[in-house]
Structure 1
Amino acid sequence: ARAATLLMLALPGSAYLYQGEELGLPEVADLPTEVLQDPIWEQTGHVRKGRDGCRVPLPWTTEGPSYGFGAGGAWLPQPPDFAAYAVQAQDGVAGSTLELYRTALRLRRKLLDGEALTWSDDVPAGVLRFDRSDGWRCVANLSGTAVDLPAGEVLLSSAPLEDGRLGPDTTVWLGL
């Protein structure tokens, strides 16, 4: 997911981020039926669950009845493991999903001056690489093996490099 995010944010055009994506929050798939509130749940006679699993309030702190979302409990129950995804748990932590998103969005605003892409054909199987007209490169390794990085200064990587190589399921932004 982190690699896909960097690949998407490297492309021209608008980007849309869903609530909780920047924290790496999973959908809460096991909400009890008695707490479901989505209109689809009622309209289908309690057959289709609807969106409630992805509408569970964001965790801001690692403690409290609603993990900092409010003074009382949340309108949909947050699972105990949400504490690990809280903003408080990830803020300023190198390598956290929140800091990856913050860095990517900051760099994107700075780097995206042009819309033209030049795709590279001379890449190993399973690797996507394009250069942006505004002076940087995106390389996404969708293969199962590490690959050599092309020249450039590493600006951001979705995962640590493996001895200077781009590991599987990893995307990197390079300054040219």
Structure 2
Amino acid sequence: MKRTMIALGCCLLMASPVLAQSVGEKTGVNSVLGVAPTTADFIKQAAISDMFEIQSSKLAEQKGDAATKTFAKQMVADHTKTSTELKSLISSGKVKAEVPTQLDDAHRSKLDKLTNASGADFSETYVEQQVSAHKDAVSLFDRYSRGGENAELKNWAGQTLPALKHHLEMAQNLDKQRSNTTSQSNKSSK
């Protein structure tokens, strides 16, 4: 099984560079193998991640419970900051790449799901998405900071990583609090 995964990973890594995002990054093979994304893949994923964090968190500021709104407010502020920093690196010429201006289909679908949710369902969906999104972001930034192609971007990824790890921890704690509250209310209703 391990050999199959390695062989699959090698084949995917050799896939056509013409693709907007490498097959290895798109399928998650790079993450499983711990392979650093290309600069173009990193920028695309980091920018989309920031856009999703900002847009979903703005929704959470409106529709979430009190704890969710507090978390969301920090996500909007922090991801607006990292988005600005990334764009600055590119506009300065230190990094050559295009920044996407729209969410990809997967993130658009997640945002649509949030838009259509309300009450406890909204908060539950939002927090679950935040845990998942921050796990992905931590993996992406960690891999690029260790093996990325562009020194400036690699340094920025390494400097940004601790904040993303903190965001993941905050989202996981929010998820635990929500789970504890739900299980306590289920016990008291029995």
TM-score, structure 1 normalization? 0.29
Larger RCO (alpha carbons 8 Å, 6+ apart): 2
The structure where strand makes up a greater share of residues is 1
Which of the two has higher C-alpha Rg?
A: 1
- TM-score normalized by structure 2? 0.27
